[in-house]
Amino acid sequence: MTTLIQKLKPNFWDHHDDTAGSFNRMFNYRFVWKISIFLMIAVALVPLIFITVVDYQVTRNAVRSEILFRTSRLVSNTRRTLFFFLNEHRAVLNFIIKDNSYDKLNNETRLLELLNNLQNEFTGFIDLGIIDANGRQSAYVGPYSLEGADYSDQDWFKEVIERGHYISDVFMGFRRIPHLAIAFKHDLPNGNFFVLRASFDTESFEDILSNLLLSGEGDAFLINHEGILQTRSRFHGNALEALKLPVPPFSENTEVIETSDQDGDRVVLGYAYIADTPYILMIVKQTDELMKQWYKTRSQLIGFLVVSITSIIIVVLGIVTFMVSKIDQADQRRFAAMHRVEYENKMASIGRMAASIAHEVNNPLAIINEKAGLIKDLFTFREQYGQDPKLIGSVDSILKSVNRCGAITKRLLKFARNMDEVIGPVNLVLVVREVLGFLEKEADYRSIQITVNADEDIPEFETDRGKVQQILLNIINNAFAAVNDGGRIEVAIKRRDKESIMVAVIDDGCGIPAANIRQIFEPFFSTKSKIGGTGLGLSITYGLVQEIGGTIDVESEVGEGTRFTLNLPLTYQKRTDQREKSNECTVGG
């Protein structure tokens, strides 16, 4: 996991430019990355989430309203159907009572004829009875022997006298089938009255309700005002059982409410009081069932949101990382270029200074040389002076010192001249010796043992002498910085193959930790230990090597030493584009 993170971690993550100073925040790529990610994700996600939440609410409410509306319409239609059904029965009984005289109706033959006609035209009629004003059954046709029964004390009889008509609750009647009864009062011209009472079973009701074809857990049934089921229901009990749901409050209109059923499930409950009857029509539907379509839509909506958020985050991460990496690379290149210019200026100054020192010193040196030479000449050519070995010795010593100084100033002049790009034949062994010549004294003082192992067959080859000199100077300087006093440095020069020569600079110094070795050629890398040494920077060396078409590698073991291996091509090709490339390489590497 950590290696995966390491792998995915962009290069700029650990970059920190100490030289940026007060502008450091500008070059804090991690901060730029974080703030860009935050802003882009916020700008993209906030409206998306907002819109999705609004859409969620709107769609949910629309679905809910639709469900309530549909339930309400169903309840209304069913109520109308039931109302018409009862009205039809009431109308036909009303017709019978008006069309037949009291006497006729009291004639049981006629009454039976009427019952038969009713049973033919309408299903469900069970019996017919005539009750006189005293509440006594004066005539009856039907399966019971109710003739002469007295109803004067019964509530329904009192109600029919008072209101002129009556519809009963459902009761268990003939053949254990639920029945209901309808009664009408008819006033006679003599001021007297009688009552026609008919009962019929509730099969027809049940048919109407069961024909509603309610999907899934839907249920339609009638209850009376006390909450007793008047018809059988699918899920809420049989006829004449008490309904477990509460009796809804009275309303003239169809009502739809959301509530919980006896099992605690959410249900949509539509109900209507059927006028002039003791019945309440109820339609109960499971909310979950109705919302199924909505749940599907909701899953799609949430899925869409999750996919969108994921892709936005991935895209934003990708784009921002890419952009910040690009900025970082551009900055790195800029810094490297600045670093290089600084280095080149420094080298040019050193060159100018070297030339001017050489010049200033050379003229007096030439005079000393001539004067001492003359003194010696005088001793040598005029024999009278020639006998004093002490004088001769002193003059020789002066001349030797002049020669030494001359060698130093000549070397300085040569170094100054090599600052410019001059392509020409280079004897690598000589260059190595020249470079070591600069460091001879230091090596002596520090008792550093330097060995040069050069193959016999190292040819002269065309290249940029100045650059080779700088590269070697930098690497050997590094080696000097790394070794302790009394240490060893070996320079090996070998013919690698037909096309290249290898120079290895091997020291037995402090070594470079494995963690740093990857970055050692990066422009701003410094351990601030002895490795940095000259401050000229291995990145410059790397750039110079690339420019003359060579390669440079480093191997190191902490405490054991370091080996820089330089491969130089025997045929020189100027790489004008190499500077750019090499920077990219060092930034990337």
Closer to other proteins by Cβ: residue 399 or 492? 399
In whole angstroms, give the CA distance from residue 354 to residue 411: 9
Please identify, using beta-carbon distances, which residue of 404 and 574 lies nearer to other proteins: 404
Residue 170 vs 358, nearer CB to other proteins:
358
* Complex with other proteins: residue 412 or 482, whichever CB lies closer: 412
Q: Which CB sits closer to other proteins, 266 or 359?
A: 359
- Show Cβ contacts of residue 449 under 8 Å, excluding neighbours closer than 6 positions: 443, 486, 487, 488, 489
CB neighbour class for 158 (10 Å; exposed up to 12, middle 13-18, buried from 19): middle
Residue where the block lists tokens 């025997």:
570
Residues 435/469, Cβ–Cβ less than 8 Å: yes
Neighbours of 381 (CB within 10 A): 9
Name the minimum Å distance from CB 570 to other proteins: 25
Query: By the criterion CB under 8 A, which residues form the site for other proteins?
Result: 354-356, 358-359, 362-363, 365-371, 373-374, 377-378, 381, 402-403, 405-406, 409-410, 412-413, 416-417, 420
Contact yes or no for 122/199 (Cβ under 8 A): no
Q: How far is the CB of 574 from other proteins (least distance, A)?
A: 20
Can you tell me the distance from the alpha carbon of 550 to that of 121, in angstroms, rounded to the nearest whole number? 115
CB of 45 or CB of 423, closer to other proteins = 423
- Please name the residue that has the structure tokens 């690009």: 326
* Residues 6+ away with beta carbon under 8 Å from 190: none
CB of 535 to other proteins, least distance (A): 25
The DSSP annotation for 212-233 comes to T---TT-EEEEEETTSBBSS--
> Smallest distance, Å, CB 345 to other proteins?
17
Q: What is the DSSP letter of 250?
A: P
**Residue 403: CB minimum distance to other proteins, A:** 8
Count of C-beta atoms within a 10 Å radius of residue 382 = 9
Shortest Å, Cβ 540 to other proteins: 22
The least distance separating other proteins from the CB of residue 396, rounded to whole angstroms, comes to 13
For other proteins, the closer of residues 42 and 353 by Cβ is: 353
User: Alpha-carbon distance 551 to 230, whole Å?
Assistant: 101
